[in-house]
């Protein structure tokens, strides 16, 4: 049976016409990387629905690895998340907001999960491609954090499966609507994620 890497991205939100996470994921859908096939799934920007869909996708595809992608406007680099917390707040609207009225992603679930991604090798691979990359200690409490937490929770009985989440900057078109916020081209983001996926595919 062919090995599958489950790759997720999100629909546009907050008045945006596009979301770089899905643009990148859709470009890589079906691509063979390191002996594994990328299977991309587009998720809604809604904590409850996104958690349900990522859990179902994991059950259906039984992936060898899982990588979620999301948009984090204002960040200048591809950001690999280290921790997902058991908090979700749909009213946050962006990753840096919210928390006061957050509810658990999974009632009675652990307070947090650590990423299972090979973060250091992934950062090195992205940097070798000449693309800015960094590790982040907070995925916020909005839908990106929810998806990371839900994926790791769904894989709690499969500890050998690498899984985690990466945030992407705005595209140039988006940044122009946000007072010159940092941006990155889709081509660079795609190349960076492909480098990360190559490391991920070979980590098994």
CA atoms within 13 A on the CB side of 130: 3
Which of 163, 188, 164 has its CA nearest to residue 76?
A: 188
Q: Catalytic amino acids? A: 81, 144, 167
- Encode burial over 38-59: b for 16+ CB neighbours within 10 A, e otherwise: bbbbebebbbeebbebbbebbe
Which of 144, 105, 126, 91 has its CA nearest to residue 199?
A: 126
- Rounded distance between C-alpha atoms, residue 167 and residue 132, angstroms: 12
């Amino acid at each position: 049976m062919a090995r599958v890497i489950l790759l997720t991205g999100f629909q546009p939100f907050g008045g945006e016409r596009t979301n770089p996470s899905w643009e990148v994921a859709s470009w890589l859908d079906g691509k063979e990387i390191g002996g594994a096939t990328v299977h991309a799934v587009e998720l809604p920007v809604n904590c409850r629905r996104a958690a349900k869909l990522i859990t179902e996708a994991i059950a259906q595809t039984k992936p060898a690895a899982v990588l979620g992608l999301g948009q984090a406007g204002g960040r200048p680099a591809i950001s690999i998340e280290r921790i997902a917390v058991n908090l979700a707040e749909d009213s946050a609207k962006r990753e840096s907001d919210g928390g006061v009225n957050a509810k658990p992603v999974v009632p009675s679930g652990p307070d947090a999960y650590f990423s299972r991604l090979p973060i250091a090798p992934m950062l090195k691979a992205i940097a070798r491609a000449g693309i800015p990359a960094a590790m982040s200690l907070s995925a916020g409490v909005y839908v990106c954090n929810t998806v990371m937490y839900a994926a790791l929770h769904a894989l709690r009985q499969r500890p050998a499966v690498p899984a985690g989440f990466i945030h992407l900057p705005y595209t140039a078109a988006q940044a122009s609507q946000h007072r010159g916020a940092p941006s990155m081209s889709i081509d660079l983001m795609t190349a960076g994620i492909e480098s990360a996926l190559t490391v991920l595919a070979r980590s098994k």
